[in-house]
Structure 1
């Protein structure tokens, strides 16, 4: 079996669906950032344990879970409240956990690595979400599969903050799972989505400016890398130097990535992505004006 941790802040509308998808899990932890609605009550009603920690960024919050929360199992799946487990992913995660040679019934203190011939030779696994918008899976305009590190060995795995999100710390061994989880992009009203992504844009700009000071410039050859994540992250860095960024994002997602095949939900989502790119342009302009 595996443990599951869910990050929350005022998620009373989304959390019940997430928890309902975890009916087979015997260790659900909700790590809350100070909700003022019924989020904590709903979690406890579903048998989850609730912990509270002030949110600084996603990497800090997830690392807090690894370091401070006593999970019942060494392997931990990270979910957000607007995401849901699938039977296929649950089965694959349990298979990984059963093959791991860590102490049975362990906690996050188990640090023993499996031998090289073990199937569980990784510190964590990438999982690709299936993005749902207005009730429809929109794989083309969300670049499916777009992988994130979600199934991790809590004692061995750490995150670092990148933009508004997080990625695995350098030097970790990461595998890839076949199954996906569900992420409902339209779980919140559109004004809420826009406000959240305006905050995300500020984080992306802060990361970009920090990379310009400390990291080597992106390399054109990395756009042709065989590694999908390398290509994606390199493209994101080059995008800061492009004119007409919102319009180019729409052309890329809707036409080049064939987002038009995702129907009307795909069109609406690509238009939202244009707004997000405009927020980034505005945040970058404001940051440069302050320098």
Structure 2
């Protein structure tokens, strides 16, 4: 077992949690789960596999994950972030076993490629692979940025390396669940896009930089995306991914994925932004009040 603990957030993940934990047991038995009130067998399954589970009321992903970092019962040198519907390939587990104990002191974080599986199809194109994510970092040298959407782990100091093998994101729920979840995601995405314009709150975040790390480049492109007119940007984004980045080569499942994730979801976000302007206007305080009344979300915190 390596000197690393893994933090996982859960809510009704009985379909995924056993697969996730068993993949992690190839290199660590220190698994810390922050559950937000699951009513299925998530907690029972996780505890049966040796995971430590605590309950915490959900606010957003960043708040929940930082709670996990701050209350981690395992005093390990390294921390790892996983989602419940992800799992580590055996090759990645072996690589972690080989490298973790031999990392030089100046290395503070490790990037891992995420492989997305949708309807049992690996989405290889459309700029969806490889996606490099900072998933392993030295304890005390990283935290989750407190944005409402697309949260990244940020390091306070140190250099990073890239691991060669993948982790896999393969959600087993049906398409109805997927669309309902992304409808909720859209509200958080609206808040993030509006925050770029209105700056509801200041927080330590990834610095936008096209020539920096992948998350810096992603943040740079998101800021640029926010400046494009409503309803035009989803069309541009979809065409870029599906045509110019060869998403059409991913077959029928790829077409469904790129259309829903690259157009439908982005169009839904714009429709919700339009609704905010339509119902609250463009005054900053009026928009803050709208989110408090409609969604019980305080944009200043």
Q: Distance in 1 between matches of 2:225 and 2:133?
A: 21
Deviation at 1:239, TM superposition (A): 2.0
Runs of 4+ in 1 over 4 A off after TM superposition: none
Q: Equivalent of 2:267, from 275, 278, 286?
A: 278
Q: Distance in 2 between matches of 1:276 and 1:227?
A: 25
Deviation at 1:287, TM superposition (A): 2.2
1:121 pairs with 2:128: no
Q: Do the aligned residues in 2 keep the contact of 1:126 with 1:174 (CA within 8 Å)?
A: no
Structure-2 change in CA distance of 1:222 and 1:80 (3 Å): closer
Deviation at 1:255, TM superposition (A): 0.9
Structure-2 change in CA distance of 1:128 and 1:161 (3 Å): farther
Q: Distance in 2 between matches of 1:157 and 1:96?
A: 20
Partner of residue 168, structure 1 = 153
TM-score under structure 2 normalisation?
A: 0.80
Q: Do the aligned residues in 1 keep the contact of 2:209 with 2:219 (CA within 8 Å)?
A: no
Q: Do the aligned residues in 2 keep the contact of 1:86 with 1:182 (CA within 8 Å)?
A: yes
Deviation at 1:246, TM superposition (A): 2.8
Q: Do the aligned residues in 1 keep the contact of 2:147 with 2:192 (CA within 8 Å)?
A: yes
Q: Do the aligned residues in 1 keep the contact of 2:62 with 2:148 (CA within 8 Å)?
A: no
Tell which deviates more after alignment, 162-171 or 29-38. 162-171
Q: Distance in 2 between matches of 1:276 and 1:173?
A: 36
Partner of residue 67, structure 1 = 70
Q: Secondary structure at the match of 1:166?
A: coil
Q: Let me know the Cα RMSD of the aligned residues.
A: 2.2
Partner of residue 163, structure 2 = 177
Deviation at 1:12, TM superposition (A): 0.8
- What pairs up with 1:89-108 in 2 under 5 angstroms? 89-100=92-103
Partner of residue 10, structure 1 = 12
Partner of residue 134, structure 2 = 149
1:191 pairs with 2:176: yes
Tell which deviates more after alignment, 138-147 or 128-137. 138-147
Q: Do the aligned residues in 2 keep the contact of 1:31 with 1:53 (CA within 8 Å)?
A: yes
Q: Do the aligned residues in 1 keep the contact of 2:14 with 2:42 (CA within 8 Å)?
A: yes
Structure 2: stretches of 5+ with no match in the other structure: 203-207, 282-301
What does the per-residue CA deviation read over 1:116-151, in whole Å, with 9 as the maximum and x for residues that have no partner?
xxx242332222210111112112135212222211
Partner of residue 88, structure 1 = 91
Q: Equivalent of 1:252, from 240, 246, 249?
A: 240
What does the per-residue CA deviation read over 1:173-193, in whole Å, with 9 as the maximum and x for residues that have no partner?
351322220001x42211211
Structure-2 change in CA distance of 1:166 and 1:277 (3 Å): same
Structure-2 change in CA distance of 1:58 and 1:154 (3 Å): farther
1:287 pairs with 2:276: yes
Structure-2 change in CA distance of 1:142 and 1:84 (3 Å): farther
Deviation at 1:226, TM superposition (A): 5.9
Q: Distance in 1 between matches of 2:249 and 2:105?
A: 38
- What pairs up with 1:204-223 in 2 under 5 angstroms? 204-214=189-199, 223=210
Q: Do the aligned residues in 1 keep the contact of 2:142 with 2:155 (CA within 8 Å)?
A: no
1:29 pairs with 2:29: no
Q: Do the aligned residues in 1 keep the contact of 2:7 with 2:69 (CA within 8 Å)?
A: no
Structure 1: stretches of 5+ with no match in the other structure: 101-118, 216-220
Structure-2 change in CA distance of 1:67 and 1:5 (3 Å): same
TM-score under structure 1 normalisation?
A: 0.83
